Amino acid sequence: MFLRCFRAENRKLHASPIWILFFLLPVISAVYGTFNYLQNLGILQDQWYSLWTQHTLFYALFFYPVLVGVYAAYLWRLEHRGHNWNLILAAPVRPLALFLAKYVVVLKLVLLTQLLVFGLYVLCGKAFAHLPGWPPVQTLLFLLRGLVGGQCVIALQLLLSMLIRSFAVPVFLGLAGGVAGMLCASKGIGLAFPYALMQVGMNANKSEDLLAGQYGGFLLASALWLALFLALAHLLLTRRDVRA
Amino acid sequence: MQPVIETQELCKVYGQRRAVDGVELHVPEGCVYGFIGPNGAGKSTTMKMLLGLVHPTAGRVCLLGQPMTERNRLALLRQTGSLIESPSGYPHLTGEENLQVVADLKGVPRKDIDRVLEIVDLAGDRRRKVGQYSLGMRQRLGIAMALLGSPRLLILDEPTNGLDPAGIQEMRDLLVHMPERTGATVFVSSHLLGEMEQMAEQVGIIDHGKMLFEGPLQALQRHSRGNYRLRVLQPQKAVPALQARGVPARLEKGALTLPPLPDAALAAAVQAVADAGAGVVELTAHTKSLEEIFLSLTQTREVK
Ligand SMILES: Nc1ncnc2c1ncn2[C@@H]1O[C@H](COP(=O)(O)OP(=O)(O)OP(=O)(O)O)[C@@H](O)[C@H]1O
Ligand SMILES: [Mg+2]
C-alpha cells in the first residue's frame, strides 16, 4: 500500500517547478560559503573542516529548513488546490500511508540535495580554495547525520503544511524554526528541538565534533520526534473531517 | 434485493446547523439514482459521509450490504469510485498521468487507463496537460478517475456543475448508460430536477438536510404536475361549464387556471368548455419548479 502511494507521489513531481529551487539554494549557499571562507582565511585555519563550516552554516541554518519547507508545502499544495483532498482520502489507502509517501519523497529529494551540497563543497574546495588532498571522511558522516536529524524537520514541515493551507506560512515557520534551533544548539539543548538536530548533525558551526559521545541521545531524539509527528499526522488524518 | 447504499438516521451537525438531519437513503443495485436538492441542502456532506471523508454526528452507513466501519472502510472504498466537489486533479500533469496517479493509489493495472479514457472520450487528449482542459473535459477526467478499477458503485457529486447545455447532455448520455455498460450503480447529485428527469430511475430529494421524498421518478412526477392555463375567448361562458363538471377554475389575467387533472378528465373538461361556446384558444401545462415541488412535498408531509 505504501509503495502504491509512493509511486503516485513521485509521479506528481513530474514537470514540477521545485526542481529549480533544488539546484538554486545549494548553489547560493556554496557560493556564499566559499566567498566567506576566502575572505576570512586568517581565522579559518582548519582547511577542509573550516570550508565545511562555512558551506554548511547557512545551509543548515536557513536554506535547509526553507528548502524542506518548500518541498513539503509544494506537495501539500497539490492536494489543497482543487478538491484533491477528497480524491486522495477516498482512495483505498490508509491515510498514514499517504503521509509516509510524502515523507519519503521529501527524504529522497533531501538526500539528493545533500549530495549536491557535498559535491559543491568538494568542487569549491578544489577549484576555488585550492585545498590540498580530499575532504576528510568525517564530513561524509556529518552529511549522513544531517539527514538523520533533518528527517524530523521533514516530518514537522509536512505536518505544518498539511494543516496550514497557505504556502508561505509554514515555510516562514521553518525559517523561524531554523533560527530558534541555532539558539537551542548554542545553549546545549539541541537534542530537544527538531530544527537543531539537523544543525548539530551536520556539525555546521564548529570544527570539532559537536556530537562526540552523544550518538545514542541524538538517534533516540531523532526517532522520538519522527514517531511523535507520524502519530500526530495519523490522528489528524483519521479523526478530522476532510475539508477540501 | 440488497440496497447498494443504505443509511439510517444519518446526521451531521456543524455548530448549531444541522447540515444533514436524519437522512435515510435506499439505493437499489444497478440503477441511476438522482440525489436532488438546492444549494446548501446537504448533498455533498451526505456523500462525504458515505465515503467516510466526514464523520457522521449520528447514524449509520451501509455500503454494498455491509455497515461501514473503520476496519472495512478500505475494502468498501476499493469497490467504490467517487467524484466529490469536482473537478479535481493535478493541472501540471497530463490527463494520462493524472489517471496513473489514481491507478497507483487504487492498485489498478495501467491498462485500465485506456478503457476509462475510451469511455469518457478523452483518449485523444490524454497527453495534454489537465491545466489546459476545458471544464467539461476536467469533469469527464474526474469520471474516468472514478471509473478506474471497475467499481460496483459510483458516487458523483454534481458532475454536470458548470457545464454548458451540450456538456450536460454528454454527461447525461454517459451516466444513463453506465449501469448497463459497466454494471455499476450510479448515485449522482444535482440541484436541477430537470437534469435528472432524463437519466435517473430513482430519486431522492433533500432540503435543509432532510429527505423530502425518495422513490421512483414517476412517483415524483405526480407531485411535479402543475396547474393548467386555459385561454378562451369568453371566460364567462367557460366558468359555469367547468363548475358543472366539478372542476374548480379561477379566472386570472384573462385566462382560466385549472388544477392538475388526469389526462382523460382534462380532455373532457376542455371539450365541455368548447361545447359551451367559450372558444378555446390555448392550453398550456405548467410544470412545477423544484422549489414548488419542495413546497408541495413539505406541505403534504406536514399534513400527514
Ligand atoms: N465544514 C463545514 N463547516 C460548517 N458548515 C458546513 C461545512 N460543510 C458544509 N457546511 C454547511 O452544511 C450545509 C450543507 O452543505 P453541503 O455542501 O452538503 O450542501 P450541498 O447540498 O452540497 O450544496 P451545493 O449544491 O451548494 O453543493 C451548508 O449549509 C453548509 O454551509
Ligand atoms: Mg455540494
pLDDT at A84 over 50: yes
Domain that holds residue A109: 2-238
Rounded to whole angstroms, the Cα distance separating A190 from B285 reads 80
Domain that holds residue B261: 225-287
Highest mean pLDDT of the ranges A42-46, A48-52, A236-240? A236-240
Is A244 inside any structural domain? no
> Within 13 A of A230's CA, how many CA atoms are on the CB side?
17
> What confidence tens digit (pLDDT) does each residue in B241-252 have?
888 888 888 888
Rounded to whole angstroms, the Cα distance separating B81 from B287 reads 34
Of B165, B191, B222, the residue that ends a domain is B222
Is there a contact between A145 and A210 (Cβ–Cβ < 8 Å)?
A: no
Q: Are residues B168 and B59 in the same domain?
A: yes
Is B127 inside any structural domain? no
Specify the pLDDT at position A78: 93
Specify the pLDDT at position B304: 41
* B142: nearest CA partner in chain A: A87
Specify the pLDDT at position A53: 82
Specify the pLDDT at position A161: 96
**Among candidates B24, B27, B72, B61, which has minimal Cα distance to B179?**
B27
Is A14 inside any structural domain? yes
Cβ–ligand 1 contact at B191 (below 6 Å) = yes
Is A243 inside any structural domain? no
**For residues B278 and B222, which has the higher predicted lDDT (pLDDT)?**
B278
> What confidence tens digit (pLDDT) does each residue in B165-182 have?
888 888 898 899 989 988
Highest mean pLDDT of the ranges A15-19, A34-38, A224-228? A224-228
Ligand 1: which of B14, B191, B211 to mutate, most ligand atoms within 8 Å of CB?
B14
Q: Are residues B155 and B239 in the same domain?
A: no
How many structural domains compose chain B? 2
Residue among B104, B108, B152 with most chain A CBs within 10 A, to mutate: B104
Mean pLDDT (chain A, rounded): 86
pLDDT at B16 over 70: yes
Cβ–ligand 1 contact at B81 (below 6 Å) = no
Q: Are residues B197 and B249 in the same domain?
A: no
Is A122 inside any structural domain? yes
- Contact partners, residue B208, CB within 8 Å, separation at least 6: B18, B21, B41, B42
Is B92 inside any structural domain? no
Cell readout for B278 is 367559450
Cβ–ligand 1 contact at B39 (below 6 Å) = yes
Specify the pLDDT at position A211: 64
Rounded to whole angstroms, the Cα distance separating B139 from B163 reads 9
Specify the pLDDT at position B165: 86
pLDDT at B303 over 60: no
B255-to-B226, B231, B239, B263, B268 alpha-carbon distances in Å: 16, 5, 11, 20, 18
Mean pLDDT (chain B, rounded): 89
8 Å CB contact of A8 and B102: yes
| Per-position b or e across B87-100, b if 16+ CB within 10 A of its CB | bbbbebbbbbbbbb
Instruction: Check which CATH number belongs to the domain holding B259 and give it.
Output: 3.30.70.260
The strand pair at B255-258 and B225-232 is best described as: antiparallel
Burial class (CB in 10 A: 0-12, 13-18, 19+), A154: buried
Place of cell 530537544: A192
Is B173 inside any structural domain? yes
**Among candidates A75, A95, A87, which has minimal Cα distance to A9?**
A75
pLDDT at B1 over 70: no
Is A193 inside any structural domain? yes
Is B266 inside any structural domain? yes
**For residues B288 and B261, which has the higher predicted lDDT (pLDDT)?**
B261
Give the number of the ligand closest to the Cα of residue B53.
1
Cell readout for A94 is 490508509
> What confidence tens digit (pLDDT) does each residue in A207-218 have?
566 666 677 888
Q: Are residues B197 and B211 in the same domain?
A: yes
pLDDT at B284 over 60: yes
Cβ–ligand 1 contact at B16 (below 6 Å) = no
Q: Are residues B183 and B269 in the same domain?
A: no
Q: Are residues B207 and B236 in the same domain?
A: no
Instruction: Check which CATH number belongs to the domain holding B176 and give it.
Output: 3.40.50.300
pLDDT band at residue B262 using 50, 70 and 90 as cut-offs: confident
How many structural domains compose chain A? 1
Of B187, B202, B222, the residue that ends a domain is B222
Give the one of B78, B87, B100 whose C-beta lies nearest to A92's C-beta: B78
